[in-house]
Amino acid sequence: MKDLSIYFKAILDLDEFNENQLGNTVIFHREESFPDLSSSKAGIAIIYVPEYRGDKSGFQFKENATFRNHFYTLNKGVSWDLPIYDLGTILPGETKEDTFFALSQVVGELVKKRIIPIVIGGSQDLTLALYKGYEELEQMVNLCCIDAKLDLGSPEEPMNADAFLSHLLLQRPCYLFNHANIGLQAPYASAVEIELFEKLYFDSCRLGEFNTDKRKAEPHLRNADILSLDLTAIRAAEIQSSSYNLPNGFFADQICQIGKYAGISDKLTSFGIFNYYPNNEFDLIAKIVAEIVWYFIDGVVHRKGDFPTGSKRDYLKFSVKLDDFKDTIVFYKSNKSERWWMEVPYPPTKGLQYERHHLVPCDATDYERAMKNELPDLWWKTYQKLS
């Protein structure tokens, strides 16, 4: 394993914690020692990356990360027996690219060790660094963004927090199989962006859809390898800070629910929380970040391990034949969690490249649509990408 300590600054000046608080159980990077990550046991690693040069707001770098003191004073959850590391802070490099390289190296090594990195960072273009951490694995991955915007941008413009996805799509080789957006608000997405998003067969769950039924977001979260959360997607009234100014958006408890859903996903292996603007005078955002991380870890602890690979004898199988459609739509329902998947065929010439992606998380409504002779939209989009 690579020596990751070279990228981090140790944690200083943490409060004292009592035996019931998380801070008493976390393995911290101190000046005298870096956490030993050589154990084969899966775990969680918390990383702070205050890189804001991709932020158009001009927010200045702050090394102080007050979310730590809020997080570590929270109580440990029930059955939390996985190791939690705090690796410290990756300070901005001489260039933004230096920071991206450092973070990508760290993410790649942690994912290989089955340690989930939780990156609390500056601008959301750091999502690209998370993605690049998977390049050495040479496997197709899915990205999900919690965001009021699509952040596609143009390859001709410099990459920034509001325009990074087009740069990610241009990476060669490109290992992105699917992208999903949760929380889109139509006034903040151009017609050109929406059209391109649809042409690429990407998925979305708009804010209004989520508010109608939050379960619609769960399959997208369950399908993701990488989750990128833009904190500006939270409605401004929840945070009461000038750095967050959208009148509509998620409530704080909804963001925590999303964190829990994401943690439960067996597939998800990295989580970035971006556009974090610490405010020492009124630090409600730090408390919200602390709670998001808490609920995410609680989800990880309670994973069901029921992603349907290999034998499917522990699943209920439903086959639906649609009129005037040659393929039979096959659904699987887990006996452990009652969650649903659809099986989408792909050409045998693709080999194992798409093995992780032809079983698509869905919900009971997709099965109900198929029973009404309606082809589920998610099935069709996945089929187009596979073929």
State the Cα–Cα distance between residues 322 and 345, nearest whole angstrom. Answer: 15
Counting as low any pLDDT under 50, the low residues of the chain are none
- Predicted model pTM: 0.94
Are the C-beta atoms of residues 104 and 130 closer than 8 Å to each other? Answer: yes
Nearest alpha carbon to residue 345 among 336, 337, 355: 355
Taking only the tens place, the pLDDT of each residue in 259-313 is 999 999 999 999 999 999 887 656 899 999 999 999 999 999 999 888 877 667 7
Are the C-beta atoms of residues 109 and 136 closer than 8 Å to each other? Answer: no
Taking only the tens place, the pLDDT of each residue in 54-69 is 987 777 666 666 899 8
Q: From the CB of residue 253, how many other CB atoms can be counted at a distance below 10 Å?
A: 12
State the Cα–Cα distance between residues 304 and 295, nearest whole angstrom. Answer: 16
pLDDT score of 203: 94
Give yes or no for a cis peptide into 173 (omega within 30° of 0).
yes
And the tokens for 161? 């927090």
Residues 216/221/224/227 CA torsion (nearest 10 deg):
130
In a 3-state reduction of DSSP, which class is residue 284?
helix
Nearest alpha carbon to residue 83 among 312, 324, 301, 280: 301
Q: Does domain 4-301 have CATH number 3.40.800.10?
A: yes
Bridge-partner residues for 176, per DSSP? 141
pLDDT score of 39: 80
And the tokens for 273? 């929380």
DSSP per residue, 71-136: HHTSBPPTT--S-EEEEEE----SSHHHHHHHHHHHHHHHHHTTEEEEEEESSGGGHHHHHHTTGG
Are the C-beta atoms of residues 233 and 249 closer than 8 Å to each other? Answer: yes
Q: Rounded to the nearest 5°, which phi and psi values hold at 153? A: 65, -165
pLDDT score of 210: 96
Nearest alpha carbon to residue 80 among 304, 302, 337, 336: 302
208: DSSP letter: H
Q: Is the dihedral of CA 97, 9, 121, 103 positive or negative?
A: positive
Domain boundaries, the chain: 4-301, 315-386
State the Cα–Cα distance between residues 62 and 254, nearest whole angstrom. Answer: 27
pLDDT score of 243: 84
Are the C-beta atoms of residues 61 and 92 closer than 8 Å to each other? Answer: yes
Nearest alpha carbon to residue 47 among 122, 128, 124, 120: 120
**Over the Cα atoms of the chain, what is R_g?**
21
Are the C-beta atoms of residues 175 and 168 closer than 8 Å to each other? Answer: no
Strand pairing report for 226-230 and 141-146: parallel
Q: Rounded to the nearest 5°, which phi and psi values hold at 178? A: -145, 150
